[in-house]
């Protein structure tokens, strides 16, 4: 039997979701997901988990500068904020009437993607 090396690339968090950070220095803060990295199970949240990057000068007359950019954090450190009950929640999946899988809030049971 051929062993499957890669896990299915399915994440509970998607680009554009509102999430709350549940651990680390930005704990409790909320932001929009800018990018997801399913392979690493990491997300970039806009304006949060900022780190300083040092940029080298590209030309002789330029100086190197420090810029702040959001660093990826592990998906387990963020929770999706439900657009219906406004709470950080776990995500379930149900099959809708259209036969597709939809994400649901485990707290209020509402579909999460229906509002988009
Ligand atoms: Zn909810």
- The per-residue pLDDT for range 1-39, each reduced to its tens digit, is 666 666 566 789 999 999 999 998 899 999 999 999 998
Give a yes or no: residue 13 inside a domain: yes
Q: Is the dihedral of CA 58, 64, 67, 69 positive or negative?
A: positive
Domain containing residue 110: 86-116
pLDDT of res. 1: 61
Query: How many of the other CB atoms lie within 10 Å of CB of 105?
Result: 20
Give a yes or no: residue 41 inside a domain: yes
Q: Closest Cα to residue 19, out of 103, 68, 102, 76?
A: 76
* Statement to judge: residues 51 and 71 lie in one domain: yes
* Statement to judge: residues 52 and 100 lie in one domain: no
Give a yes or no: residue 113 inside a domain: yes
Give a yes or no: residue 3 inside a domain: no
CA of 102 to the centre of ligand 1 (A): 14
CA of 59 to the centre of ligand 1 (A): 52
pTM of the model: 0.80
* Statement to judge: residues 92 and 69 lie in one domain: no
* Statement to judge: residues 72 and 17 lie in one domain: yes
Q: For residue 33, what are the β-bridge partners?
A: 45
Give a yes or no: residue 4 inside a domain: no
pLDDT interval class at 114 (50, 70, 90): low
Residue ranges with CB less than 5 Å from ion ligand 1: 82, 84-85, 105, 107-108
Percent of the chain beyond pLDDT 70? 90
* Statement to judge: residues 26 and 73 lie in one domain: yes
pLDDT of res. 4: 62
pLDDT of res. 2: 62
* Statement to judge: residues 69 and 102 lie in one domain: no
Question: In this predicted model, which residue has the larger pLDDT, 48 or 63?
Answer: 48
CA of 18 to the centre of ligand 1 (A): 12
CA of 107 to the centre of ligand 1 (A): 5
CATH number at residue 40: 2.30.30.30
- Calpha distance 103→17 (Å, rounded): 12
Domain count, the chain: 2
Residues 6+ apart with CB under 8 A from 86: none
Cα→Cα distances 33→36, 42, 43, 46, 111, Å: 7, 10, 7, 6, 19
């Amino acid at each position: 039997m051929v062993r499957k090396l890669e896990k299915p690339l399915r994440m509970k968090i998607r680009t554009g979701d509102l999430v709350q950070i549940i651990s680390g220095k930005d704990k409790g803060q909320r932001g929009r997901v800018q990018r997801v990295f399913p392979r690493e199970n990491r997300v970039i949240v806009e304006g949060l988990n900022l780190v300083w990057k040092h940029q080298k000068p590209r030309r002789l007359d330029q100086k190197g500068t420090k810029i702040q950019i959001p660093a990826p954090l592990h998906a387990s450190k963020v929770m999706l904020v439900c657009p219906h009950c406004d709470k950080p929640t776990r995500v379930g999946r149900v099959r809708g009437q259209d036969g597709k899988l939809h994400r649901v809030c485990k707290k209020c049971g509402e579909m999460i993607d229906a509002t988009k």
